[in-house]
Chain A
Amino acid sequence: NAGVTQTPKFRILKIGQSMTLQCAQDMNHNYMYWYRQDPGMGLKLIYYSVGAGITDKGEVPNGYNVSRSTTEDFPLRLELAAPSQTSVYFCASSQGIGYEQYFGPGTRLTVT
């Protein structure tokens, strides 16, 4: 199993540009999550999904959108990128309630 994969690893965006961060898992997990981590800080939950077609907001959803059309994929969309979105983005998945989360390697995004 590849586990949780994320692409790209690095990206530089100009202010106002848009992009999609890709996340995929091959463990047939129902739950998937997107976090952001600013320098020296803990992780903050952006969005999560409990299954295909079901998503919900986390702690810091503004400026982001998600979709979950399949069990495997959970892309995160940034519209109109802003410098405040400069961060490392982690995707995670879990089997369900009470199970541990598996994290991807992260995407380092810089908005200038």
Chain B
Amino acid sequence: DAKTTQPTSMDCAEGRAANLPCNHSTISGNEYVYWYRQIHSQGPQYIIHGLKNNETNEMASLIITEDRKSSTLILPHATLRDTAVYYCIVLYSGGYQKVTFGTGTKLQVIP
């Protein structure tokens, strides 16, 4: 499985867009990029995933670079409830699905 690199922490002003980067330079062609978040001691929550096209849902947008070596999760209008640890994960699309969560990015939304 490809490894990911994320900044340890970030701050974002409430109401502004939060852009969370992730580097996955060793990703292979059949590996998806997934994003989860974990709000204080709760179980992680799925946000979004993509293969090579940009994706958008009701929670966030995912921008994947053309070479697929990095991606950015965008929360368009961050709220205080978005304060959480955000995990970027790369998953193989075939075979057994083993997930490796790193330490993620601690996003602090500031009033």
Q: Which residues of A contact B (CB under 8 A)?
A: 4, 31, 33, 35, 40-45, 48, 50, 56, 58-59, 88, 90, 92, 94, 96-98, 100-106
CB of A42 within 8 A of CB of B99, answer: no
| Binary flags per residue of B88-111, CB closer than 8 Å to A gives 1, else 0 | 000101111111111110000000
User: Which of A45, A102, A103 has the most chain B CB atoms inside 10 A of its CB?
Assistant: A103
B99 surroundings in chain A (CB, below 8 A)? 33, 43, 45, 101
CB nearest neighbor in A for B49? A100
The CA-CA distance from A96 to B41 in the complex, in Å, is 26
Contact B43 A106 (CB under 8 A): yes
Shortest CB distance A86–B (Å): 15
Q: Is the CB of B43 within 8 A of A100?
A: no
Q: Which residues of A contact B97 (CB under 8 A)?
A: 31, 48, 94, 96-98
A105 CB → nearest B CB, Å? 6
> Does A98 contact B32, Cβ atoms closer than 8 Å?
yes
Alpha-carbon distance A104/B36, docked complex (angstroms)? 14
